[in-house]
Amino acid sequence: MTCFKAALVALALATPVAASAADCPRADALGTARVMTIDPATYPRVGLKSFPQTLPLADKEVVLTFDDGPYPPTTTKVLAALADECVRATFFLIGRNAEANPALVRRIAAADHSIGHHTWSHRLLDRIGQPDSVNEIDRGIAADERALHGAATSTPSTPFFRFPGFASTPALLASLQSRGIAVFGADLWASDWNPMTPEQQLALLTSRLEQARKGIILLHDTKAQTAKMLPAFLRYLHRNGYRVVHLVPGRAANKSS
């Protein structure tokens, strides 16, 4: 009974602040089913591909995340597909790409997507030592914040971070946790770093989702095959009864229902 109560408390700390599907102008769109407030103190690291814990999603709930942008030729197409279905996602930006495309960063934020961080230049941080790794993290955050708000800071307005290649170290994980930054792995992905057709990618991703039935999904908005596949994937989610959960930062204990 104690374990059951603990599970209920953990679920309550990350339950929805508001449903947004009703805000969508298209009645037949997939929509965003609910918004989940993520407190890094409660969920310092999530994603079963890297960690023992993930988010308390219900059956057939998914979180859409996109890495490595912004990249205008494809990120704009990803944004259009998401907007068409009234779906919100989380984008983990590379700092140098944000610095090169600040207007696109602001466009992502203006569409109500969450902005996470993915280092300055996508180096694998388990290979370069702690000082250089911290610099990669902080420089990336500062570039993202400058693009978003016009001022560089190593304190992220959205304290979400994903390691390039999921290449973390215990020291870096401890450092990010001490700074109140949640680290995201993933529960499943489409392996879109490998060349394949959009149709092949859709088949791979949907087969993995049918097995997992829920989870944090990793995609890359820099990949042309992903941008082409995404509209069909969103239709698949809608047709098969999946619900999209959008993540926002905050102290869950202070949220309003």
Q: How many residues does the chain have?
A: 257
220: β partners:
67
CA angle 237, 242, 244 (to 5 degrees): 90
- Say which residue the tokens 């308390």 belong to: 56
**Residue of 161, 184, 191 lying closest to 93 (CA atoms):** 161
d(CA 104, CA 116) in angstroms, rounded, equals 14
CB 31 within 8 A of CB 87: yes
Strand-pair category, 61-67 with 215-220: parallel
CB 251 within 8 A of CB 43: no
d(CA 47, CA 217) in angstroms, rounded, equals 9
CB 233 within 8 A of CB 206: yes
Question: Which of 39, 67, 144, 221 does the annotation list as catalytic?
Answer: 67
Residues 6+ apart with CB under 8 A from 209: 62, 188, 215, 217, 242
Question: Which of 113, 122, 220, 246 does the annotation list as catalytic?
Answer: 220
220 is a catalytic site residue: yes
Active site residues: 67, 220
